[in-house]
Amino acid sequence: MARGAPVEKDPLVTSTLHNSTPRHPLISGVFLAAGVLMGCTTTNPCADGWARDSAGNCVRFEEPVDSSEDSGNPADTEQPNDSDSTTGDPCTPPEEGPEDPLTDLGFYDNLVESNTMIEFIDVAIDSDRQILWGVGQGGLMAFDISDEQAPALESLTPQDGYGRYHHVYPFPSSDSGGGLVYTTHRSHGLTVFDATESSRPQELSRTIEANLEGMVQVGDSLYVAGRNGVLHRFDISNRTAPTRKNSLSGLGIPQNLSGSVEALYVADQEQGLVVVDPSNPEEPRVVERHAIGSVTSVSHNKDWVVAGGSAGISLFSRTDPLALEAETTMDLGTIVSDVVVDGDLVWAVTLERVVAISLTEAHRPMPFASRSTPYWAMTVDAKSGTAWVGDWGALRGYQADKSVSSPDVDVQVSEILVSESGEDLLFSVANRGNEALWIEAYSADDERVTLEIQEMEVPRQGSVPVNLTFSGGELDTRICILTSDPDQPVSEVRVHTGGVTHPDIGKMAPDFTLLDVDGNSYTLSDFRGQPVVLSYFATW
Amino acid sequence: MCPSEVSEIEHTIWRPYTDQGVMVFGIGSEDSQSALLNFRNSFGLTYPILYDGNGQVHAQYSLQSAFPTAAYPQDWIVGPDGRIVYANNGFEPDEMRFVIEQFMGRE
């Protein structure tokens, strides 16, 4: 139970750690959940089977019975550092291990290399034609996904003016609109493309409606979320020339929707999950509001409605499509950007991870596979166990195999700032999976840093604290934690003094005086004596 | 994703820390003033949204050279002494809270 077969080297994880250059040194890690405990100086005994070595780290002195394979591990014989555990260098993933339920397919990021950010906002699989449609900063993009190992960009149709297409809907070939693609835009409105030739989409028409977001087709009606609190209905009996018919108002900030002729499910950033009865298309009405925080996306199948947002993943039983029953909510540790139901799988993306969840035991859904994404994952669409995830820089494919169970452990910190006068602090190793996991080894490269972990077993859906003590001075080092998680066996945490490594850190902030949108004047230097957060943003 | 980012700044940084002396400014230089106003209103943001119409502040903070892309958001934290203590071209609210907490702890 302590450890199965030695852990497989995960190509994606190792490349993240050693080869790729993240856009920013901070962006590759999972979220920072360190809580500072000032003045905590107790020395705790190691867990059973572990002992403290000369560097103060707990190391395993008693090998588990099933670890005979370890003898072939070159890391064992090298023993690069006395402070490492006897199971090998915590910074080097062991050679073999359990099968990973998530397989990496191909990816496409050539646009990044050519210095044009893709920044996907939405992707939609056109399965009849093996085309994946994407929208974002670059415009409307078509990718040939017939070869899952090598998605290829077929066309990129830029949009004119400011802003970006936000959502995309390719009509299925069985529909009279087959070959057409709709996009929505916050200022262009609804745009119709003739995409019969996916390599050369032609704009046919556009309606100027502001603030359009997600859309869903129900027969000859297209329902479109409007950020200004409305749900629009377009008559699309003429697929090439949609006309807006009526709107349902009283919503908050609808972002996306899913639905059928029986019921519409609106992801509303203010009101939560809103259920709309469309039986009279001229006058759709709200029948339910489920206040589950800010909801950014929603998807459904015959039995389930799945909403993603600030609360994580919320699952509703759809026995009565207009009277949903809340089943359960699963916290993924951060806001869910997008979610899609794919058979009895749910795919979700947070800014940091793609997660596959099984609906087989819907009362107790469990993530069985996850992968960290090097850039922000924004959007996902999936068919038949294959998911395509659009992030800031690339399109990435994943395939999930539910028959392989996977643990999922995260070291919930990627970088720790410590004071030059020394510090004691806590961070945690969390297990979001359904099996107990083990911390196999841990080490610190610098002798002034000591780690204490009392419990080596990380219970399912639980976490264990790691106590880090730094004696002081200037520091820039790393600690490594090796766990039995096949997805990400090695977690590296940078520990350093002196703030984040940015050339401007430590410089005086340039002063400025600006007016706010209400006409009030603010000068930065007036706020001397208090910390000031400057958040540069764009509304698109 | 802008919507969840500004909401998260509003709810997890501005509101919890404003009573403890933390100031937050949203700054937009690529949108019109009215677009910023609408954005502020539709997200119910209560921290000041500054309009950097000619991109002057944006340029001062040397973002083009400091970050490999001009992508948004770009978050900076200026310490009580007026020095830049944090800069990030990726949205990491937990890190920002961590940095802010360090000032809380030292006061």
Q: What is the pLDDT of residues A523-536, one digit of tens each?
A: 999 999 999 999 88
Identify the closest residue of chain A to B50 by CA–CA distance: A516
B22 vs B12: CA distance, rounded Å? 12
pLDDT at A444: 86
Residue A88's closest CA among A100, A102, A74?
Answer: A74
Q: Which of A247, A352, A277 is closest to A22 using CA atoms?
A: A352
pLDDT tens-digit map of B11-48: 889 988 998 899 999 988 767 778 788 888 877 889 99
Q: In this structure, what are the phi and psi dihedrals at residue A251, rounded to the nearest 5 degrees? A: -90, 175
Inform me whether the C-beta atom of residue A39 falls under 8 Å from chain B C-beta atoms: no
Residue A413: its pLDDT value, please? Answer: 59
Q: How confident is the model at residue A503 (pLDDT cuts 50, 70, 90)?
A: low
Nearest to A537 among B6, B68, B102 (CB): B6
Confidence of residue A510 (pLDDT cuts 50, 70, 90): confident
Q: Which of B3, B39, B84 sits opposite A505 (nearest CB)?
A: B84
Show residues of chain B in contact with A33, CB under 8 Å.
94
Put simply, whether A113 touches B (Cβ < 8 Å) is no
Cβ contacts of A344 within 8 Å, gap of 6 or more: A358, A359, A360
The predicted complex's ipTM stands at 0.92
Q: A505–B85: do the CB atoms touch at under 8 Å?
A: yes
Going by C-alpha positions, the residue among A210, A159, A204 that lies closest to residue A182 is: A204
Check residue A81 and give left, alpha or beta (phi > 0: left; psi -120 to 50: alpha): beta
Interface of A with B in 129-188 (CB under 8 A): 162
Q: Which residues contact A48 (CB under 8 A, 6 or more apart)?
A: none
Residue with tokens 């359904």: A434
Model confidence pLDDT, tens digit, residues A6-46: 333 222 222 222 222 222 222 222 222 222 222 212 233 34
Q: Is A461 helix (H, G, I), strand (E, B) or coil?
A: coil
Report CB contact under 8 Å: B77, A532.
yes
Query: Rounded CA gap, B56 and B53, in Å?
Result: 8
Token duo for residue A304: 């389930």
CA angle A45, A48, A54 (to 5 degrees): 50
Query: Rounded mean pLDDT of A441-446?
Result: 85
Q: What residues contact A241, with CB distance under 8 A and at least 6 apart?
A: A192, A204, A205
Question: What is the nearest CA distance from A240 to chain B, expressed in angstroms?
Answer: 30
